[in-house]
Structure 1
Amino acid sequence: MKLLKTYAEKCVRCGACMAACAKAYFKEEDPELSRIRVSDVGNMPNLNVCNQCGACIEVCPTQALERDKNGVVQLRKDKCTSCMMCVGYCPTASMFFNAKKQSQPFKCIACGLCAKACPTGALEIIG
């Protein structure tokens, strides 16, 4: 299974990963449009990203979420009704939504752009 592995101990909270992700998918460097979120939890950064667990697949009433050949959970926009069941159910809070930019939820698809942008190696695509 392909996924994005995080190393919080290497993260310097620079935001390069969020900027690269948002720029690639929304053409803006707005962290609220990123599929990865970096925040502070105590003295350590929290890198919140989809771990491809698939829990969202089970709750989607229209079967708009499915695994691709690499094991990555993908959203089929043609089937999504924007009910937000996946956003509410995600056990890692890694399914995001931004009503100003898109009517459907979005999540990490392990594309690796954030890992390439990270100057410290805090992110890595594995699988």
Structure 2
Amino acid sequence: MKFLQKDETLCIQCHICEETCAQTFFKSGDREKSSIKIYDEPGEKGEVINVCSQCGECIGICPELAIYRAKNGVVMIDKEKCVGCLMCVGFCPTLSMRIHKEFLEPFKCIACGQCAKQCPTKAIELKNID
């Protein structure tokens, strides 16, 4: 299973990971389009780095069955099936489902690791466990 492991003690809040994510998936420097969120102060869950843990809790809540776990363990959203009801956003226990005014569907981290490659302090690392 692929997931991003975080060490918030190493995070210097440079936001490079957010910029990298937005650029990778939306070809935009708009950090609001990032699937990872860095809080300058601890966020709602008391954390600095917020990213999907790939827990899968959102899978069963989707009425359209648009959310599934891929073979590599990553929770994915099928944009063809998603109707934009945003139930997954409200249900996400880690507050890691993202929305943006330009998109009907929510989006989330798919553990691609691009943010980890760009993190200058290694506060985020891509992990793969069996």
Asked if these proteins are the same fold (TM beyond 0.5), I'd say: yes
Residue 127 of structure 2 corresponds to residue 121 of structure 1: no
| Structure 1 runs (4+) greater than 6 angstroms displaced | none
TM-score (norm 2): 0.92
Deviation at 1:86, TM superposition (A): 0.3
> What SS class does the counterpart of residue 89 from structure 2 fall into?
helix
Alignment equivalent of 1:89, drawn from 88, 91, 94:
91
In structure 2, what is the Cα distance between the partners aligned to 1:41 and 1:67?
29
In structure 1, what is the Cα distance between the partners aligned to 2:47 and 2:19?
16
In structure 1, what is the Cα distance between the partners aligned to 2:88 and 2:5?
22
In structure 2, what is the Cα distance between the partners aligned to 1:88 and 1:19?
25
**Root mean square deviation of aligned Cα:** 1.4
> What SS class does the counterpart of residue 5 from structure 2 fall into?
strand
Whether the 8 Å CA contact 1:65–1:74 is kept in 2: the answer is yes
| Aligned ranges 1:53-92 → 2 under 5 Å | 53-92=55-94
In structure 2, what is the Cα distance between the partners aligned to 1:80 and 1:45?
29
- For 1:86-113, what per-residue CA distance to the aligned partner results, in whole angstroms no more than 9, with x for missing partners? 00100010001002x2111000000001
Aligned residues: 125
Where do 5+ consecutive residues of structure 1 fail to align? none
Identical-residue share of aligned pairs (%): 49
Deviation at 1:29, TM superposition (A): 1.3
CA 1:53 to 1:84, structure 2 compared with 1: closer, same or farther past 3 Å? same
Aligned to 1:105: 106
In structure 2, what is the Cα distance between the partners aligned to 1:10 and 1:113?
18
Aligned to 1:2: 2
- For 1:32-54, what per-residue CA distance to the aligned partner results, in whole angstroms no more than 9, with x for missing partners? 11000000229x96100000011
> What SS class does the counterpart of residue 115 from structure 1 fall into?
helix
Where do 5+ consecutive residues of structure 2 fail to align? none
TM-score (norm 1): 0.94
In structure 1, what is the Cα distance between the partners aligned to 2:16 and 2:74?
23
